Chain A
């Protein structure tokens, strides 16, 4: 039922993703030793998001899944944004 024919990732892709994740981890740790102020936060979050996307797209098969599954995967992020934004609209402006 599920074969490489469906375009699913095989060993090579997984190892490549793993290597990218290790590399990105190394980069983010190294950058953290350099003081860049707020840029540190931005870089760390961007790298984390790239890593997360790699895990989601390849290890979690999102790349090959239907739009419906994408909807299920992305919807909670919307609500996460809402709860953080709504709470901050209070705590930032007291």
Chain B
């Protein structure tokens, strides 16, 4: 399907508010999710910059400690519920799952549309709750969350709605992947992005209802005096933590698995080599999803939980490292002796591997009971999850965005701007967060607006890093906007990928394929160079 310069706008052709708001097209729904989630990425980022300014020096008076508490609660909640959980699955996943499967849409297009508007409804309810904002941290632990003057009830319902959106998306993807693969596409001929999305969807479907009931119970505690989490009524505040983390630990795999899926697509394309260990990566994705359900107690080691449970959860925690490591080794083996080029998608993918490994290895410190007691609720944890979630998921998202921008928009990004943005982001990220490992190790607690003087110099470093990071992100967004408005037309397959999404036009037509393709091989059959490697 040859793309003509400045020609066919494909699925983007029809214009007007309702052609988007009432669309059944998975591509448009994906784009709407991407725009919404990226918007909240920026909002959450602004909160973070404000937090870092407060932390420039002890006694900084730009705002009060109470406002600081609200800000870190908002930063965490917005980033997690409104950005990082939905961005890749509901954004890129919606766009590319049917394309990679060789299908015309997902199994239930109307439910797909509904999932977006339920998401928006949840956002509006959450925004309404900001009249009396939460100051509990995004983990909303009881008893504080049950007693605080903030609008817990509205917030709980908002998060419930956002969770429902996540469930509907996961449900749709599971059924789509089971029933709508193109003729000839067996499970072992599916792109690895789809294996990741399948594993992700299982987690979304199984774990999210538990956080739903958790927030429902929190609201009921406020409204009707139910006492499950209230010690004065015989309840157990730690029970809240069990319910909360039963979801919130697996959800970190909802965050990382899709990003890993993107990496598994990008690395072979930019190494011109078949992915090494396809089955190992595929099965590891499912294994990560499964094992991720066994380990939630490792967030609760210092909560007052029983020592027996703590030991069990600590042991089980190490199991998740195994399939994760398998993936990393396979990616590296793919790179080995490949013809590597360093366009932006590859730069971000390599960054993912490096930063995620750092984050993951620091998880080892935290999984061990002895060290966790020292490190819990310090900046070590903050650094750990920023390395995994931002150094991991966000880098994966950015890799995917640069990789698939031509396909989604039919235009090219500026490679030069992309690399400048990447460099600033890479340096800024590490300057911001690496020192936080040190701060945490030295004992600086998280969620405190003030700190002892001896921590100040590293805090200054971290704040300056956040400014670099912010500039890099702005450069990147400028590249996106410039690309959307002035980018040169992109060909159907600018990177030479072999998955079915590259067999469509850029941008694809509404029906995706003129004729549903028949598949006879896996999508990683890059030819070896002549004359050996």
Contact = CB atoms under 8 A, between A and B. Distances in A.
Touch between chains A and B, by CB atoms below 8 Å: yes
Given A75-B206, A86-B246, A87-B242, A93 B297 contact: no
Interface stretch (A21-29, A51-59, A76-84): A76-84
Contact of A86 (B206, B296, B307): B296
Q: Chain B's interface: helix, strand, loop or mixed, by majority?
A: helix
Contacts of A86: 242, 246, 294, 296-297, 309, 313
Contacts of A83: 210, 242, 246
Contacts of A92: 306
A82 B293 contact: yes
A74 interface: no
Nearest to B236: A91
B206 A90 contact: no
B204 to A, nearest CB: 13
B297 A90 contact: yes
B294 A76 contact: no
B306 A94 contact: yes
B347 to A, nearest CB: 38
Interface string B136-147: 000000000000
Contacts of A91: 236, 238-239, 306
A82 B293 CA distance: 8
Q: Chain A's interface: helix, strand, loop or mixed, by majority?
A: helix
B305 interface: yes
Contacts, number: 44
A30 interface: no
B236 A89 contact: no
Contacts of A82: 293-294
Nearest to A75: B206
A18 to B, nearest CB: 30
B306 A79 contact: no
A73 to B, nearest CB: 13
Contacts of B312: 89
Interface in B279-313: 293-294, 296-297, 300, 304-309, 312-313
Contact of A79 (B206, B304, B308): B206
A45 B92 CA distance: 45
A89 B293 contact: no
Interface residues of A, number: 14
Interface in A31-73: 68
A79 B297 contact: no
Nearest to A89: B309
A73 B242 CA distance: 25
Nearest to B241: A90
Given A82-B293, A93-B308, A93-B309, A87 B239 contact: yes
B29 to A, nearest CB: 24
A90 B63 CA distance: 40
Given A68-B178, A75-B206, A79-B206, A90 B306 contact: yes
A75 B203 CA distance: 12
Contact of A90 (B178, B293, B294, B305): B305
Nearest to B295: A86
Contacts of B297: 86, 89-90
A76 B308 CA distance: 26
Contact of B293 (A68, A79, A93, A94): A79
Interface in B289-346: 293-294, 296-297, 300, 304-309, 312-313
Contacts of B300: 90
A88 to B, nearest CB: 9
B186 to A, nearest CB: 15
A68, A82, A90, A93 pick with most chain B CB within 10 angstroms: A90
A28 B146 CA distance: 39
B306 A89 contact: yes
Interface string B225-248: 000000000001011001000100
Nearest to A87: B242
B206 to A, nearest CB: 5
Given A79-B206, A82-B294, A90 B309 contact: yes
A79 B313 CA distance: 16
Contacts of A90: 238, 242, 297, 300, 305-306, 308-309
Contacts of A68: 178
A88 B300 CA distance: 14
A55 B43 CA distance: 49
A70 to B, nearest CB: 14
A48 to B, nearest CB: 21
A86 to B, nearest CB: 6
Interface of A: 68, 75-76, 79, 82-83, 86-87, 89-94
27 contacts: A68-B178, A76-B206, A79-B206, A82-B293, A82-B294, A83-B210, A83-B242, A83-B246, A86-B242, A86-B294, A86-B296, A86-B313, A87-B239, A87-B242, A89-B308, A89-B312, A90-B238, A90-B242, A90-B297, A90-B300, A91-B238, A91-B239, A92-B306, A93-B308, A93-B309, A94-B305, A94-B306
Given A89-B312, A93-B306, A93-B307, 7 more contacts: A79-B293, A82-B294, A86-B309, A90-B297, A90-B300, A91-B236, A94-B305
